[in-house]
């Protein structure tokens, strides 16, 4: 949702005086009443003002910035044998950490903008069509001449990941200029989520833009190699609301061991000293640890599942539900429990993003085995 300079001026006047008339607005801005009425009409169409009286829409959304690609998954029909062909079945669907988080958020009912880059090709067309159908806002997705990224995953017969290869070169086109194009929604967001697929310059720009506006920002490291690349951008002059690594990513972010619970807590403390308010560490089947800068550390158990169909996308659903709950006013521990429920629902589904995911379904999973 892009606002013109004049629209920004009108919104500022409405915030100071919601009952101001169009004639008074025109006088203050040195323009005609007819021109102001056109701008007011456009602001209504964009959802910035609601109905008569120029009531401003204050419902914040979430902006997710990072990778979008097509997932190609192959699952072995029996326990996989290395270095040979294994019978099984394959599938293709939209993926990418940022895109998956955005779709999960939209399905949970949160207004969500995706900032990403995809190719001007058939895969990009399919990705955007399916993502839009899920309810994600795509005005700030950049189309590039580079091919749409791909993520190729090989799963064992039990649904566990054996190996994955990600081609995210299209995301390299997502530079500071593309982030700045989404400035309007970033600086007014309830939350901004960044994934580790972003190049350093883009990550730094997004962190600074959101931080200057006082928007809570969450960083998802994505993988060990990406965590090593984003680690230098976690500094005391960039206040991060949360970082969400697994054990190995935590070690890559801090250069510290993270195999034992004590080591995890010490590594989390290192991130707190570097300006991170919450460190939410995924511990696999054991659940997670939520550490806060105040010194509190809460272990949160995983929500049990009776069936594991596919672990791909579970972490993305977990983070999306965490953000959805935070935006709804839940405290971080409650939000983390909500995230675990969404992850359990996703694991029990063959889909990377569960198509029937709803807030009510997640609430049910908190009390009823999945």
pLDDT of residue 77: 95
Q: 42 and 183 share a domain?
A: no
83 inside domain: no
Q: What is the mean pLDDT of the chain?
A: 90
161 inside domain: no
Q: 265 and 190 share a domain?
A: yes
Bridge-based pairing state of the strands 49-50 and 297-300: unpaired
Over residues 13-32, the mean pLDDT reads 82
Distances in whole angstroms, Cα of residue 359 to Cα of each of 106, 109, 153, 274, 325: 10, 7, 28, 34, 9
pLDDT of residue 350: 85
pLDDT digits (tens, 9 = 90+) for 155-205: 999 888 899 888 888 999 999 999 999 998 898 899 999 999 999 999 999
Q: 234 and 122 share a domain?
A: yes
DSSP state of 135: T
163 inside domain: no
Axis-axis angle for helices 5-16, 33-45 (nearest 10): 90
Q: pLDDT grade, residue 284 (50/70/90)?
A: confident
DSSP state of 209: H
pLDDT of residue 56: 55
Q: 117 and 264 share a domain?
A: yes
Q: pLDDT grade, residue 306 (50/70/90)?
A: confident
Q: 185 and 263 share a domain?
A: yes
Report the CATH number at residue 178: 3.40.1190.20
Chain centroid, CA 136 distance in Å: 11
Q: 315 and 246 share a domain?
A: yes
- Tell me the whole-structure pTM to 2 decimals: 0.81
Q: 266 and 355 share a domain?
A: yes
Which run of H or E residues covers position 42?
helix 33-45
Is 4 or 270 the better-scoring residue by pLDDT? 270
pLDDT of residue 1: 47
240 inside domain: yes
Is 198 or 47 the better-scoring residue by pLDDT? 198
Of 21-30, 219-228, 357-366, the range with the highest mean pLDDT is 219-228
pLDDT of residue 52: 53
233 inside domain: yes
Domain of residue 37, residue span:
5-56
pLDDT of residue 15: 66
DSSP string, 68-112: -EEEEEEEESSS--TTS---EEEEEEEE-HHHHHHHHHHHTT--E
For the cut 60, the answer to whether the pLDDT of residue 144 exceeds it is yes
157 inside domain: no
Query: What is the number of structural domains in the chain?
Result: 2
CA distance 23 to 248: 60
Q: Comparing C-alpha atoms, which of 311, 318, 312 is closest to residue 282?
A: 318
Q: pLDDT grade, residue 55 (50/70/90)?
A: low
Q: 115 and 199 share a domain?
A: yes
Q: 14 and 120 share a domain?
A: no
Q: Comparing C-alpha atoms, which of 205, 206, 147 is closest to residue 171?
A: 147
Report the CATH number at residue 36: 1.10.10
Is 307 or 186 the better-scoring residue by pLDDT? 186
Q: 358 and 246 share a domain?
A: yes
CA distance 40 to 110: 25
**Residues 44, 50, 56, 57: is their CA dihedral positive or negative?**
negative
For the cut 50, the answer to whether the pLDDT of residue 107 exceeds it is yes
Q: pLDDT grade, residue 308 (50/70/90)?
A: confident
Is 55 or 33 the better-scoring residue by pLDDT? 33
CA distance 227 to 108: 28
80 inside domain: no
Asked whether 112 and 131 are in contact (CB, 8 A), the reply is no
Is 23 or 233 the better-scoring residue by pLDDT? 233
pLDDT digits (tens, 9 = 90+) for 229-279: 999 999 999 889 999 999 999 999 999 999 999 999 999 999 999 999 999
For the chain, the residue count is: 370
DSSP string, 158-220: TS-EEEEEEE-GGGGG--HHHHHHTHHHHHT-SEEEEETTS-HHHHHHHHHHHHHTT--EEEE
Asked whether 69 and 167 are in contact (CB, 8 A), the reply is yes
CA distance 77 to 89: 7
Q: 15 and 102 share a domain?
A: no
CA distance 314 to 365: 14
pLDDT digits (tens, 9 = 90+) for 58-106: 567 999 999 999 989 899 999 999 999 999 999 899 999 999 999 999 9
Over residues 336-359, the mean pLDDT reads 92
Q: 270 and 321 share a domain?
A: yes
109 inside domain: yes
State what percent of residues in the chain have pLDDT above 90.
70
Is 359 or 8 the better-scoring residue by pLDDT? 359
């Amino acid at each position: 949702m892009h606002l013109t300079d004049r629209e920004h001026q009108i919104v500022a006047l409405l915030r100071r005086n919601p009952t101001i008339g169009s004639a008074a607005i025109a006088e203050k801005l040195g323009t005609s009443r007819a021109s102001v009425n056109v701008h007011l009409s456009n602001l209504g169409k964009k959802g910035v003002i609601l109905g008569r009286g120029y009531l401003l829409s204050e419902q914040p959304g979430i902006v997710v910035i990072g990778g979008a690609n097509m997932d190609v998954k192959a699952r072995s029909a029996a326990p996989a044998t290395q270095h040979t062909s294994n019978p099984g079945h394959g599938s293709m669907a939209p993926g990418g950490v940022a895109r998956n988080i955005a779709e999960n958020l939209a399905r949970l009912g949160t207004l969500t903008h995706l900032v990403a880059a995809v190719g001007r090709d058939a895969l990009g067309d399919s990705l955007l069509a399916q993502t839009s159908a899920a309810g994600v806002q795509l005005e700030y997705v950049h189309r590039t001449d580079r091919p749409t990224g791909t993520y190729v995953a090989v799963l064992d017969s039990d649904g566990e990941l054996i190996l994955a290869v990600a081609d995210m070169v299209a995301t390299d086109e997502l530079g500071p200029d593309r982030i700045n194009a989404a400035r309007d929604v970033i600086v007014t967001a309830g939350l901004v989520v960044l994934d580790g697929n972003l190049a350093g310059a883009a990550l730094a720009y997004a962190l600074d833009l959101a931080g200057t506006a006082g928007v809570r920002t969450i960083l998802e490291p994505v993988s060990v190699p990406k965590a090593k690349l984003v680690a230098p951008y976690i500094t005391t002059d960039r206040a991060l609301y949360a970082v969400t690594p697994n054990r190995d990513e935590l070690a890559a972010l801090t250069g510290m061991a993270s195999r034992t619970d004590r080591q995890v807590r010490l590594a989390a403390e290192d991130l707190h000293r570097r300006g991170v308010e919450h460190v939410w560490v995924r511990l696999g089947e054991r659940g997670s640890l939520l550490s806060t800068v105040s010194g509190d550390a809460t272990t949160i158990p995983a929500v049990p599942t009776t069936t594991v169909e596919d672990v791909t996308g579970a972490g993305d659903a977990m983070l999306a539900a965490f953000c959805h709950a935070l935006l709804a006013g839940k405290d971080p521990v409650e939000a983390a429990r909500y995230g675990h429920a969404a992850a359990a629902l996703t694991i029990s589904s063959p889909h990377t993003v569960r198509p029937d995911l709803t807030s009510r379904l997640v609430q049910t999973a908190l009390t009823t085995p999945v």
